[in-house]
Amino acid sequence: MIADFVLRLVAGIAMMWILMSRRDVADGFFRIQMLLMLGLCVLLVLSFQSAIDQRGSEFSGLSPAQAASLADRSTLLQQLAFAAAAAAYPGHVFWKLGRRTAGSVCIAVIALTTLAALGITAAAGREGMAMWLHLFADLTSAAVLGATLTGMLLGHWYLTTPTMSLRPLVWFCRILLAAAILRGLASLSVWLLVSGQSLQQLQWMWLLLRIGGAILAPAAASIMSLLILRHRNTQSTTGVLFACLILVFMGEMSAALLQQDIGIPL
């Protein structure tokens, strides 16, 4: 569960780096972001290793081919996470030296490896559910996480670089709104597909927390932030995004618990 959550988080951050306009953002922001990515990727490697150790007992109940396939997939995911971590450190150095082209190459490598890992986990999703729907759910979940965290950290950067253009922060608020809407559509699509699934009372609580924290909250926060930015108040915008980040984390962890119980990426 922890590995899945961290994977979505790092994939979402890398996705935002690729999509955003980096020329309007100071080099120092990406220098710090690369250290954050390095730490998260190391945590992801350790989480995958822990998952491999826990699944060791499960291999005895599988056929040799199934056990080998599961072990190979887990090892591949760990290798992809390690490759992302290996690209993050030189990326930090390049952005520190102002080598934007080389730093952008490191961003591309991180995005490629983390999104590939996300695709592999989607391909191994629940039987009976289309791979594209599972991937759509994972990508939108990653987008909400990445947009909220990166947007909040970018808002903090205006404290050290107040003359930086507001366009990147406005873009993050808009992309967060789009990600929340798409996340809602993904959850609705999955729910309609498995509408016969019965949930217990605790699972209903997780589902409501998931909808409120990771869909409705970021949508509302993005609209509020856009209205605040009309007055060029970056500190208040950052505060709204910080509060939203807490709710998004709660919503996504609730979704992870729900998926662990019923195997559905709601």
For 196-229, how does the pLDDT look when each residue is reduced to its tens digit (9 = 90+)?
567 788 888 998 999 999 999 999 999 999 999 9
Contact between 22 and 119 (Cβ < 8 Å)? no
- Supply the pLDDT for residue 264: 81
Mean pLDDT of 96-106: 96
Assign 47 a pLDDT band (cuts: 50, 70, 90). confident
Q: Say whether pLDDT at 60 is over 60.
A: no
Q: Say whether pLDDT at 193 is over 80.
A: no
Assign 128 a pLDDT band (cuts: 50, 70, 90). low
Task: Please state which of the ranges 44-48, 68-72, 75-79, 176-180 shows the lowest mean pLDDT.
Answer: 68-72
Instruction: With CA atoms as reference, report the closest residue to 214 among 250, 189, 240, 238.
Output: 250
Contact between 39 and 132 (Cβ < 8 Å)? no
Q: Say whether pLDDT at 178 is over 80.
A: yes
Identify the CATH number of the domain defined by range 1-124.
Answer: 1.20.120
What proportion of the chain, given as a percentage, has pLDDT over 90?
Answer: 68
User: Looking up tokens 């988080």, which residue turns up?
Assistant: 9
Q: Say whether pLDDT at 141 is over 90.
A: yes
Mean pLDDT of 61-89: 80
- Supply the pLDDT for residue 103: 97
- Cα dihedral 209/202/257/127 (nearest 10): -110
What count of other Cβ atoms lies within 10 Å of the Cβ of residue 235?
Answer: 12
Mean pLDDT of 76-81: 93
Contact between 180 and 215 (Cβ < 8 Å)? yes
- Supply the pLDDT for residue 263: 77
- Supply the pLDDT for residue 43: 95
- 197 is written with which tokens? 């699934």
Higher pLDDT, 53 or 204: 204
- Supply the pLDDT for residue 265: 81
Q: Could you give the CA distance from residue 99 to residue 157 in angstroms, rounded to a whole number?
A: 20
- Supply the pLDDT for residue 2: 85
Q: Could you give the CA distance from residue 40 to residue 84 in angstroms, rounded to a whole number?
A: 10
- 67 is written with which tokens? 């056990």
DSSP assignment of 178-199 equals HHHHHHHHHHHHHHHHTTT---
DSSP assignment of 203-259 equals HHHHHHHHHIIIIIHHHHHHHHHHHHHTTT-HHHHHHHHHHHHHHHHHHHHHHHHHH
